[in-house]
Chain A
Amino acid sequence: MFLSFLRKKLGKDPEDKVKNVCKDSTELKDTVYDLIRTIKDPEKPNTLEELNVVYEDGVEVKEPTLGKVDVIRVEFNPTVPHCSLATLIGLCIRIKLERNMPYPIKLDIYIKDGAHTTEHEINKQINDKERIAAAMENPNLKEMVENCILEED
């Protein structure tokens, strides 16, 4: 279905162009994953990748919007089902991508199915841009996020 959509989008001579777009979508996925894998866990001295909170398969390139803007879905797996920091992790993923992606994308972030006791509530919160914007104006939360997404060379 995805391929047929691409063909429709590209018109004639689908073979080469499909390859190009697939490469672009792999590149896009890599760009996103490279940005989130190095985010630090809010409590532990490890990165989200080291703790398996984020993983390559959790990044999915979805069908773009009508205006051809890329839509990315990021899934993450909090370390424990009642982890109180799941919202903060979601916030870090969103802010890091919003700031560092080379162009605007549409981003949906979800907790892995069944991985958290209040996943529905957290999913709703970390995908509400008004709540995110307000959270980032809270000095304490902002500092926590900044520490987690800081790039160390």
Chain B
Amino acid sequence: MSTLELVQTLKKDNGRVWNVSWHPKGESFASCSEDKSIRIWAKDGSKYTNKVVLTDGHKRTIREVAWSPCGDFLASASFDATTCVWDKKNGEFTCNVTLEGHENEVKSVAYSSNGLHLATCSRDKSVWVWEVAGEDEYDCVAVLNSHTQDVKKIVWHPSKEILASASYDNTVKLFKDDVALGEWVNSNTLHGHESTVWSIDFDATGERIASVSDDKTLKIWKEYPPGNPEGIPTEDKESAWKCVCTISGHHMRTIYDVTWCPLTGLIATACGDDAIRIFKEENGCDPNAPTFNLVATVERAHSQDVNCVSWNPKTPGLLLSCSDDAEIKVWKFKE
């Protein structure tokens, strides 16, 4: 019997905590809140404590924070339509870059795996790709207007320059830099969810995506490259993406976030029914129709909606969550 055990509860913010993000070294993390602050937490002995509070970057809710792969930069996306990039060059965290351009709320921000690109998305329906041109220099290289509604979340492929986005238009889209055309293009659109797709995550290989939605389902999508042995048709030498598994009947309300652990393969979800659920793929199942079993549920993980879950990148089974109840929790998955 697997369990998710509570390790620590952290509370400093006033109001909803929207997002938590592990530093790539896995020893500290950042959180952001509707109180317009970013907090950085690190271990003091065995407990995490709040080390830094950043309050002077944004005028409205901070929706998401993301570390660069080198761990030296922290980007923050805000409802004030800007994205800030913070660094510690002067000894303490300061905002040295403010990226403007979105018409309204920026909902998500992420660095590509090699750190050369930053992507942002907004209620203005667009996804922007920025090139990290130098220290404190970011050039917008693409404004992608493929979604027909609010874009909720973006994530990069774990090793390639491929970007995935989730939207209020019920789809997931993939984008990549088409070298022949010399521009970023929308290569795939994943249809299947019946309402807003709130979040997505790649697995360790980047060949599968997990998506969660207001339709209360978790879906697994698989890439079928050109010439795949299964005979799934592809077009224009582009991979096809197919939904290979839909997990329904577990979540009772909107699912707000999903995290797919690159170390263990476990999937965790954050739900509007206050619960955190852990899913595990059955050993030896058909990759074209995999089975994911619910292996642990914490029914009242928080006293209100769970907004975000995040697996630690270095320690298997260590999970962070945050909620509308203003709390951040640290959990340990035990098999």
Contacts and interface: CB of A to CB of B under 8 A. Distances in A.
Contacts of A23: none
Contacts of A128: 168, 196, 214
Contact of A133 (B61, B150, B214): B61
B273 A67 contact: yes
Contacts of A133: 16, 34, 61, 79
A134 B274 contact: no
Given A130-B152, A134-B79, A66 B299 contact: yes
B304 interface: yes
B196 A124 contact: yes
Chain B interface, >50% SS class: loop
B272 A106 contact: yes
A141 B265 CA distance: 44
Contacts, number: 53
B123 interface: yes
A129 B255 CA distance: 12
B123 A134 contact: yes
Contacts of B104: 134
B274 A65 contact: yes
B253 interface: yes
Interface residues of B, number: 30
Contacts of B253: 65, 106
B204 to A, nearest CB: 29
Given A67-B300, A128-B196, A130-B107, A137 B79 contact: yes
Nearest to A121: B149
B273 A66 contact: yes
A128 B149 CA distance: 13
Contacts of A106: 253, 272-273
A102 B148 CA distance: 39
B235 to A, nearest CB: 31
Interface in A59-83: 65-67, 69
B60 A137 contact: yes
Interface in B277-320: 297, 299-300, 303-305
B267 interface: no
Contacts of A134: 60-61, 79, 104-105, 123
A134 B152 CA distance: 13
Contacts of B152: 130
Interface string A29-67: 000000000000000000000000000000000000111
Interface string A128-153: 11110110010000000000000000
- Interface hub of B60, B152, B273 (most chain A Cβ within 10 A): B273
A69 B61 contact: no
B107 A124 contact: no
B305 A69 contact: no
Contacts of B299: 65-67
B103 to A, nearest CB: 12
Interface in B88-126: 104-105, 107, 123
Nearest to B300: A67
B206 to A, nearest CB: 27
Given A65-B252, A66-B252, A131-B150, A137 B61 contact: yes
Given A128-B196, A130-B107, A66 B60 contact: no
B105 A67 contact: no
Contacts of B168: 124, 128
A124 B297 CA distance: 28
B79 A104 contact: no
Contacts of A131: 123, 150
Interface string B161-190: 000000010000000000000000000000
A138 to B, nearest CB: 9
Contacts of B146: none
A89 B63 CA distance: 25
B312 to A, nearest CB: 25
Contacts of A130: 63, 105, 107, 152
B196 A66 contact: no
B49 interface: no
B66 interface: no
Q: Report the 8 A-B pairs with minimum CB-CB distance, sorted nearest first.
A: A67-B300, A65-B273, A67-B299, A66-B299, A137-B60, A134-B105, A67-B274, A134-B79
Interface of A: 65-67, 69, 104, 106, 124, 127-131, 133-134, 137
15 contacts: A69-B274, A104-B304, A124-B195, A124-B196, A128-B168, A129-B324, A130-B105, A131-B150, A133-B34, A133-B61, A134-B61, A134-B79, A134-B123, A137-B61, A137-B79
